[in-house]
Amino acid sequence: MSTFDALGLSPKLTKGLEKAGYTTPTPIQTQAIPHIMQGRDLMGLAQTGTGKTAAFGLPLLHRLLDIGHPPGPRNVRALILAPTRELVSQISDNLEVFTKGTPVKVVTITGGASIFRQSEKLARGADVLVATPGRLIDLLDRNALTLEMTGYLVLDEADQMLDMGFIHALKKIAKHLPMKRQTLLFSATMPKLIEDLAQTYLRDPIKVQVAPPGKPIEKIVQGVHFTPQGDKAKLLETYLKQHPGEMALVFGRTKHGSEKLMKLLVSWGFKAGSIHGNKSQNQRERTLNEFRDGTLDVLVATDVAARGIDISGVRHVYNYDMPNVPENYVHRIGRTARAGAEGKAVAFCAPAEMDEFKAVEKLLKQPIPVLGGAPWAMDAGAAAPRPGQNRGGQGRGKPMGQGKPAGQGKPKPQGQKPARPEGGTDAPRKAFRPRRSGNRSAA
């Protein structure tokens, strides 16, 4: 099927898609939409940037349009859960495009915004509610809404939700949902935990997969530069100066480290901003808008933004710190090469990050081309401080065969607290512990 009309969608939706410039469905949309319109539970596996929002959003909107009357007070007809504020905002923005000219009402709720105003919106009911799990539970506890009439549940980026520790929140929300419903689960990866989640929430689901889990977009040119942790900032400066005026996204591991790096880049004359869990929702949205409209050239972010940024102009992604979870590497670099464009991704690997780097190559099932330096010896990696930990007294690592014998580095200062992990106000208090667990093409 080569058009949205051929998928059987309502003319009210296809007209809006045509006005917005969407004419040809992506593979995940072509495969998923017919099954969802038939009422089947579905598990969709697709890499970032493949149009998953439209894959579940369009058929849901099609079915909601058939109802013909508004929802009751505090009632929600369709619930879409996503792990981060940025992703919730992205989904909501896409749905607003799809619903333009229709009576379908979309409500968005996330942490960091006024819970009183969100309660007021929900008092009038919602056809579609897009939410982060934490804030949804807060509103359920206040009896600001009811899910008793919710006939559709979508879990988007389910693997990241599990990685961020939302499994207990999902269980609590599920108790408020009716047993008779249509459930859709979308994920970029398929670890054992996602299989268990699907068995718990989905009934006889159809499985749709358009690319091997973890496989990055083919148009992304990847590379790794082996460098001591203390040399990363100057190396990043060198790379950024090679592409002046081009949009670059830089990923750090911790909130504090990312903020410090952003301020350093600004002091060097770069138009840089940052988003992470210590920023308020308004601050994060303002910074994203400035990055989107070109006011900023460089955005420094933690993994809270890895799947929530859909900006077609991003040409470069720099993994300043290697991710703890190898799948997050794919989601990070998927922020470039959007909507068919090309992009480049460079990873900076310090001695202590060799384990993480090897885990990424194992996931990709192929080596990442070396752009500079030489792979670190494992003994050098074992002795080096971790990114995001105390750097006072940190010795510089050496390439393979040049490391100092263990125990000859400077001792670490005592009494300093380790950097807090990213999570933001929507993260649960108790993190889910598993080690392992990426949209603008009509979404």
Cα–Cα dist 278/266, whole Å: 19
Cα–Cα dist 364/377, whole Å: 21
Domain boundary among 364, 383, 402: 383
Comparing CA positions, the residue from 404, 414, 422 lying closest to residue 228 is 404
Pair of tokens at residue 271: 């138009």
> Does 203 map to a domain?
yes
Do both 270 and 323 map to the same domain? yes
Cα–Cα dist 118/135, whole Å: 10
Do both 53 and 193 map to the same domain? yes
> What number is the average pLDDT over the span 232-237?
97
Do both 39 and 72 map to the same domain? yes
92: Cβ contacts below 8 Å, ≥ 6 apart: 106, 108, 130
Pair of tokens at residue 8: 């059987």
**pLDDT above 60 for 277:** yes
1: Cβ contacts below 8 Å, ≥ 6 apart: 7, 25, 30
- In total, how many domains does the chain have? 2
**Burial (CB count within 10 angstroms: exposed 0-12, middle 13-18, buried 19+), residue 391:** middle
Do both 175 and 196 map to the same domain? yes
Cα dihedral 215, 432, 378, 347 sign: positive
Domain boundary among 367, 383, 399: 383
**pLDDT above 80 for 145:** yes
Q: What is the pTM of this model?
A: 0.65
Do both 143 and 289 map to the same domain? no
**pLDDT above 70 for 58:** yes
Render pLDDT for 103-119 as a digit per residue (tens, 0 to 9). 999 999 998 889 999 99
Do both 184 and 131 map to the same domain? yes
Do both 251 and 198 map to the same domain? no
Do both 349 and 323 map to the same domain? yes
**pLDDT above 70 for 423:** no
Domain boundary among 209, 243, 266: 209
Q: Which domain holds residue 296?
A: 220-383
**pLDDT above 60 for 437:** no
> What number is the average pLDDT over the span 233-254?
95
Do both 303 and 334 map to the same domain? yes
pLDDT band with cut points at 50, 70 and 90 for residue 398: very low
> Does 293 map to a domain?
yes
Render pLDDT for 327-345 as a digit per residue (tens, 0 to 9). 889 888 888 876 667 789 9
Q: CATH code at 112?
A: 3.40.50.300
Do both 194 and 288 map to the same domain? no
> What number is the average pLDDT over the span 123-131?
96
Do both 295 and 314 map to the same domain? yes
